[in-house]
Amino acid sequence: MPHYLITGASSGIGAALATALLRRGDSVTALARRKDRLDLLAAGKGRLHPASCDVTDAGATAAAIDEATGALGPVDCAILNAGMYEPQDTTKIDPAAYARHMDVNYMGVVNALPRLIDGMLARGTGQIAIVSSVAGWRGLPKAAAYGPTKAALISLAESMTFDLAPRGIDVKVICPGFVKTESTAVNDYDMPGLISADTAAIEIIRGLRSNQFVIQFPKHFTRKMGLLRWLPDRTFFRTVGARTGFPQP
Ligand SMILES: NC(=O)c1ccc[n+]([C@@H]2O[C@H](COP(=O)([O-])OP(=O)(O)OC[C@H]3O[C@@H](n4cnc5c(N)ncnc54)[C@H](OP(=O)(O)O)[C@@H]3O)[C@@H](O)[C@H]2O)c1
C-alpha cells in the first residue's frame, strides 16, 4: 500500500487528494497547520497520519517527515502542495507580502525536500510532485507576489529532474488552472474553466501514473494559457489586459 505525503492537506486540492487516496485504501500523511481539519480526514478508509506543521519551518518539516515515516513507512510519493495567494497591486508594493509568498510557496517546498530525497535515494525509488500553477507560465494581473513563486517551482522541478531521474526518483510539476478552493474565494472576477477540488484530485492521481513531466488541467483552459507563452510580448499584454480589466496602451 503506497504511502503518499501531501502538504497543504487541510483544505482545497490537498484535502480532496487525501480523501480520494484514503478512499482507495492508500496510506496518507496529511500535513498542514490546522490539525482539526486534518483529523476530519480520518473518516476515510485508508491509514491517515495527520501531521500538524508549518512548512516555513525547515526543522519542523523534517521532523514531521521523520514521524510520518515512522508511522506509515517510507514515503513513496510526496505531493508538495501547501500554498497561499494574496492578490497584489504593484502600484503599492509591500515587500513583506512578497517574502511571505516566497516563504510558504517556494521555501515550503524546498524545506520538505532534504528528508524526502534522502529516503528516496536510499531506496532508489520514489516520486515527488510539486504543485505550481499556470500562473507560473507568464506574469498575470494581481499575481506579482504569487506568480514568481510558481515560476520558481517549475524551474526547481526541472533542475531536480537532471539529478534525480537517473537515480529512480520521478519528479513532476502540477499546473492547475482555476480550482474552487479557499484560495480562489478571494477572486472577484469570473474564473474561466473553474473546476472543483475533487476533479483536480482525479486529474492529479491520473497524472501521477502518466509519463508526463507536467500535469496540467483542465486541458481546454491550460492549452490556451500555454499559448500565451509563445505570443509576442505586446500581443500578450494587450490580449490578457483586455480580458482581465487591465487595458494596455
Ligand atoms: N485553487 C486554484 O485555482 C489553484 C490553481 C493553481 C495552483 N494552485 C495551488 O494549489 C495548492 C493548493 O491550493 P488550494 O487552492 O487548494 O488552496 P487552499 O484551500 O487555500 O489550500 C492551501 C493549503 O496550504 C496549506 N498551507 C498554507 N500555508 C501553510 C503553511 N505555512 N504550512 C503548512 N501548510 C500551509 C493550508 O493549510 P493550513 O492553513 O491548515 O496550514 C491549506 O491546506 C497551492 O499551492 C496553490 O497555489 C491552486
Q: Is the pLDDT of residue 126 over 80?
A: yes
130-150 per-position pLDDT tens digit: 999 999 999 999 999 999 999
**pLDDT of the residue at 100:** 98
* Chain centroid offset of residue 103 CA: 14
Residues with catalytic roles: 146
Q: Write out pLDDT tens, residues 70-104.
A: 999 999 999 999 999 999 999 999 999 999 999 99
- Give the pLDDT confidence of 168-227 residue by residue, as tens digits: 999 999 999 999 999 999 888 889 999 999 999 999 999 999 999 999 999 999 999 999
Distance from first CA to last CA of the chain, Å, rounded?
Answer: 57
Return d(Cα 247, Cα 194) in angstroms, integer. 23
Which amino acid residue places its CA nearest to atom 46 of ligand 1?
83
d(CA 171, CA 121): 13
Kindly list the structural domains of the chain, giving each domain's residue range(s) and its CATH number in brackets, ordered by start. 3-244 (3.40.50.720)
pLDDT over 90 for what percent of the chain?
94
Q: Residue 7: helix, strand or coil by DSSP?
A: strand
Cα–Cα distance measured from residue 219 to residue 145, given in angstroms and rounded to the nearest whole number: 25
pTM beyond 0.95, yes or no: yes
Ligand 1 binding pocket mutation candidate from 181, 182, 215 (most atoms within 8 A of CB): 181
Looking at residue 44, its pLDDT comes to: 62
As given in the structure block, the three cell numbers for residue 66 are 521523520
Pocket lining for ligand 1, CB < 6 angstroms = 7-14, 32-34, 37, 54-56, 81-85, 104, 108, 131, 133, 176, 178-179, 181-184
Residue 107: CB atoms within 10 Å = 18
Nearest CA to ligand 1 atom 8: 133
Whether residue 15 contacts residue 41, with contact meaning beta carbons closer than 8 Å, is answered with yes
Q: What does the pLDDT read at residue 45?
A: 67
Which grid coordinates belong to 114? 532534504
Burial status of residue 122 (CB atoms within 10 A of its CB: 0-12, 13-18, 19 or more): exposed
> How is residue 139 written as a grid cell?
506574469
Helices (H), the chain: 12-24, 35-40, 58-72, 95-101, 108-110, 113-123, 146-164, 197-209, 219-228, 233-244
